[in-house]
Chain A
Amino acid sequence: MSAYIDGIGLISPQQTTDPARFLPEVMEYTADFLQVINPNYKEYINPIASRRMSKLIKMGITSARIAMADAGCQMPEAIITGTGLGSVEDTERILNGMNAGEQLMNPTPFIQSTYNTISSQIAISLQCHHYNSTYVHRSFSFESALQDALLQFEEAAATTALVGGIDEMTSNHLGIVRRTGHWKMEPVNNLRLLSYRTPGALAGEGAAYFILRGAPSTSHYGILKDVKTFYHPKELQETSLEITAFLASNNLTANQLDAVILGYNGDIHSDSVYDQLGSGLFNENQQLWYKHLCGEYFTSTGFALWLAANILRHQYIPSVVKFNNQPADSFRHILIYNQFRNINHSLILVSL
């Protein structure tokens, strides 16, 4: 079962909130982590309602509204969110208070730290009583949400679904997770991310919501053909076989792909998986990357899906995302392949 991508709202460290424009200019940063460019949330959320909302909730509601406006959708028939960490800001507000020995008096951070708050706040703002769920599984989170939407269409339980991937980063949280050795220890230039060749990813954040439809519309970006996750392959060969089998189940081979979007994140260990596939299975393909534009976060494939959808719509690849240069004049099939620490692997196939 496939779905039609009909509208997109993306808040990211790039200029992406206007669906009519496809990367008008590239934002360059030298930073510890990439932060989203906050839109004027007041244009999207009632100021009284937004007064107590933390950043992540505002990002979620706003990107959802942009996606709905883009698709001309008034009321989705399902709201499904993927978030790896939920509201980090609210969670650490509570933890910092507890650590200082304070009694928690204000319940708002606790309520907002609950992962399903984003999906339910969107539902409240839309008065949407339909199916509503939230997935919280590291870098499977957004993929699980997409899979759930595809199930909804297959069951004929919904004709439209609002599906998103959303995560935030804070300085405090980065300070903690840096201790694991999986994140860049000092500020880096995002556009030169691969030149450092050091361990650790460049952290980032973003909110991407999509209006998916079970039936074609006149204005869709492209077709979400299939989504797969796989866990902890023992060796590269297994990863290669999983990808080949996924493509075969969609009647494709790697050389029929017009572009492959890879999850390079600047971590020399993690990136070696892409290097090996890039000189193996994807050797002939136009390879793209995107995390220098948005950073690494659990739901970054939302950014990648926005990129794929826009390449299909505009039939053009911005040079900043090209990892290699293969001659191509039209784009029909794009595969997104992402993995987190070589444990959580995901595949998203989009076609024209």
Chain B
Amino acid sequence: MAKRVVITGIGIISSIGKDLPETFASLLASRSGIGRLHHLNSTHQDEFPFAEVPFGNEKLLSMAGFTDPSNFSRNTLLGIIAAGEAFRHARLEELSKLKTGLISATTVGGMDQCERFYDDFLTNDTKNQYIDVYDCADSTEKIASHMNIRDYMTTISTACSSAANAILLGARMIRLGQLDRVVAGGTEALTSFHVNGFSALKILDKLPCRPFDANRNGITLGEGAAYLVLESEEAAGEGNREFFAELAGYGNACEAYHQTASTPDGKGALLAMERALKVGGLNPPDIDYINAHGTGTDNNDIAEGVAIERLFGDRIPYVSSTKPLTGHMTSAAGSAEAILSILCLNHGMILPNLNFKTPMPELHFKPVTELIRGINVSMVMSNSFGFGGNNTSLIFRKPTN
């Protein structure tokens, strides 16, 4: 019998807050983190808006509790801050040493340092301590060391669904009894590397992103990190702690259509959502709110919107994309949006899809555009879709404790 998986801790840093209380305050005020770049030096800084974490690396270093500049990438620092908050939130350090793992997601790894020192790497020995920072595992190992997690660790990279797949793997390992506790999530720092990549793909909007709007014109890139502490119900019973949510379902599917585009009929999105419902033994009417992937690209929003209509028929739940608030946090988006979804469960609210004006002619539903409060939200679906058609849906249920 598979074990139930509950969430006992959450931690987040993004353009809308350095921690959970700040994030929550921004959400209540519908305050977007999108603006001008102040810390990343990019040739595209005047061309596109971004949702940057409003601190330089030195400040992040001290926020993470370090004094020695050492060889931390920005994404390691963001990860340590968010994972540390989740870890404290779940009061893991006070608990017995059950089998605990870290499953972290990233796509660019330490590319911020690599692109900064690449010329040195090619020509001299002055920045050698940053060479091995480049790969994706470096941040995971430093986060794990910081929290003294040793039983299991790995790193997942499935583009923009990476962190959702980290949560999915953590849940699977707990359900089968391989681990008792997992810190799962993702971290991603803005880099010139992927800003240039997305720019070359011509999918960055010159205006703050407008998901599900007829005039949407692409993504607004963001950054940050978000981690959840997942535990088996038995492990979570220790220490009289609060459960934030139960992970009720998850589904992973590959669209297998195109490396950077979705089918117009949303086949991959539909498969991921259907599988998540099936794993949870749930039906479409059980879902109160969909925190959509909703990137604001022409292609994603049609595919996802059509898939939602195919699955939910004429009973479409509340739908919004929170990317106009946080920007697209790419590999950290899955866990960041999981946390926003959990806040909706805990506080009886639906977050707004900012910047929406004109409905898409292809869709029959409109996203929620104003913050809704004071309602009962029992079940939320959070979608994360990535390049390569790596699509994942997660379903969170209000805890019954």
Contacts and interface: CB of A to CB of B under 8 A. Distances in A.
Contacts of A116: 157-159, 386-388, 390
Contacts of B145: 232
Contacts of A127: 256
B37 interface: no
A179 B136 contact: no
Interface string B188-216: 00001110111111100000000000000
Interface stretch (B79-87, B127-135, B345-353): B127-135
Given A124-B257, A129-B271, A114 B199 contact: no
Given A95-B118, A136-B156, A138-B135, A128 B254 contact: yes
A126 B389 CA distance: 13
Contacts of A137: 136-137, 140, 153-155
Interface in B308-358: none
B122 to A, nearest CB: 7
Contacts of B388: 114, 116-117, 119-121, 123-124, 132
Contacts of A229: 152-154
A154 B254 CA distance: 21
Given A132-B254, A133-B252, A121 B259 contact: yes
Contacts of B255: 129
Contacts of A154: 176
B100 interface: no
A129 B256 contact: yes
A148 interface: yes
Contact of A124 (B158, B256, B271): B256
A116 B258 CA distance: 13
**How extensive is the interface on chain B, given as a class?**
35 or more
Given A85-B135, A107-B200, A136-B137, A123 B154 contact: no
Given A110-B196, A124-B389, A180-B131, A135 B154 contact: yes
A109 to B, nearest CB: 8
Contact of A129 (B43, B125, B194, B253): B253
Interface stretch (A9-17, A98-106, A319-327, A329-337): A98-106
Interface stretch (B4-12, B22-30, B165-173): B165-173
A20 interface: no
A86 B173 CA distance: 25
Nearest to A109: B197
A222 to B, nearest CB: 23
A154 B174 CA distance: 13
A89 B283 CA distance: 45
Interface string B14-44: 0000000000000000000000000000010
A198 to B, nearest CB: 19
A151 interface: yes
A111 interface: yes
B119 A99 contact: yes
Nearest to B256: A123
A155 B176 contact: yes
Contact of A128 (B2, B154, B175, B256): B256
A285 B157 CA distance: 38
Interface of A: 79, 84-86, 94-95, 98-99, 103-107, 110-111, 113-117, 119-121, 123-124, 126-138, 140, 144, 148, 151, 154-155, 172, 175-177, 179-180, 229-232, 343-344
Interface of B: 2, 43, 106-107, 109, 114-115, 118-119, 121-122, 125, 128, 131-132, 135-137, 140-141, 144-145, 150, 152-159, 165, 169, 172-173, 175-176, 178, 192-194, 196-202, 252-260, 267-268, 271, 386-390
Given A84-B137, A104-B196, A120-B387, 5 more contacts: A98-B193, A107-B201, A140-B153, A140-B155, A176-B131
